[in-house]
Amino acid sequence: MAELKYRRILLKLGGEALAGEGGFGINPRRAEEVAQKVIRVLNMGVQVAIVIGGGNLWRGKEDGLDHGMERVTADHMGMLATVMNALALQDALERHGIPTRVMTGIEVRAVAEPYIQRRAVRHLEKGRVVIFGAGTGNPYFTTDTAASLRAMEIDAEVLIKATKVDAVYDSDPKLNANARRFERLTYIDALNMRVGVMDSTAMAMCMDNDLPICVVDLWQEGSLEQVVAGEAVGTLISA
Ligand code: UDP
């Protein structure tokens, strides 16, 4: 078995990882593809916790607040959207026989366990994939912040932010052919540059608690395995 750099990871996925056409909804085939990627990392002997976003279904600010809704209600809806994504991913993993627990920051007891830190760690120790739904359970936050919070709580060694961009750039590489790509960044530089990859609340939490962040392209073959093996991939944000 390959040497591992990280034995317990927190994988942050945007809701768009499960999205269907146009970035909206849930496509079970995409959930299946994500599950395959998670299983490959699991098979390396890594404990895997996942925070999944809800942007493919609902974003509190853009979809609610900006249209006159009350912020807290709009954010509650966003958090519930992440629970749907969590269930879709759990279903995809369990179809492969991978024991998986969804734990939610807002109680939805009929469908998932409430989040309890000690139970989450216990699940991981038993080799179960733990998917955290409903973000932090609080409005005005994002699932990026939920990812840094849960990563800290469960003592994950790295937060892997896997999106469709392969690294952090100083501008959008799709719009600017000369965009500078970073292999490494300090937290403070990432904060000062206001890199779009993660909001500043989440980034500041990682900085204050010295949790490395690895930004990779989820869809690039082998990217997650490379992170846990300690190979250079994407952008590493650390002290
Ligand atoms: N949300 C929230 N508190 C949290 C996490 C999420 O209120 O701790 C709400 C917020 O409205 C957000 C939505 O849930 O817009 C979906 O999460 P996010 O936008 O982070 O999803 P992603 O962009 O990762 O798909």
Per-residue pLDDT of 177-205, as tens digits, reads 999 999 999 999 999 988 888 999 999 99
Binding residues for UMP: 54, 75, 136-143
Does the CB atom of residue 79 touch ligand 1 within 6 A? yes
Does the CB atom of residue 84 touch ligand 1 within 6 A? no
Is 174 a member of any domain?
no
Domain that holds residue 41: 8-160+222-234
* pLDDT above 70 (res 1): no
Binding residues for ATP: 12-15, 55, 59, 163, 169, 172
Does the CB atom of residue 150 touch ligand 1 within 6 A? no
Does the CB atom of residue 234 touch ligand 1 within 6 A? no
Per-residue pLDDT of 114-129, as tens digits, reads 999 999 999 999 999 9
Cα(6) to centroid of ligand 1, in Å?
Answer: 27
Give the integer Cα–Cα distance in Å for 7 and 9: 7
Give the integer Cα–Cα distance in Å for 94 and 110: 18
216: confidence class by pLDDT, cuts 50, 70, 90: very high
User: pLDDT value at position 22?
Assistant: 87
Q: Which of 232, 212, 180, 220 is nearest to 40 (CA)?
A: 220
Is 184 a member of any domain?
no
Give the integer Cα–Cα distance in Å for 214 and 211: 10
* pLDDT above 60 (res 172): yes
Check which CATH number belongs to the domain holding 84 and give it.
3.40.1160.10
Is 199 a member of any domain?
no
Q: Which two tokens stand for residue 183?
A: 């292999």
* Cβ(43)–Cβ(1) below 8 Å: no
Is 26 a member of any domain?
yes
Structurally, the chain folds into a number of domains equal to 1
What's the ipTM?
A: 0.98
User: pLDDT value at position 2?
Assistant: 61
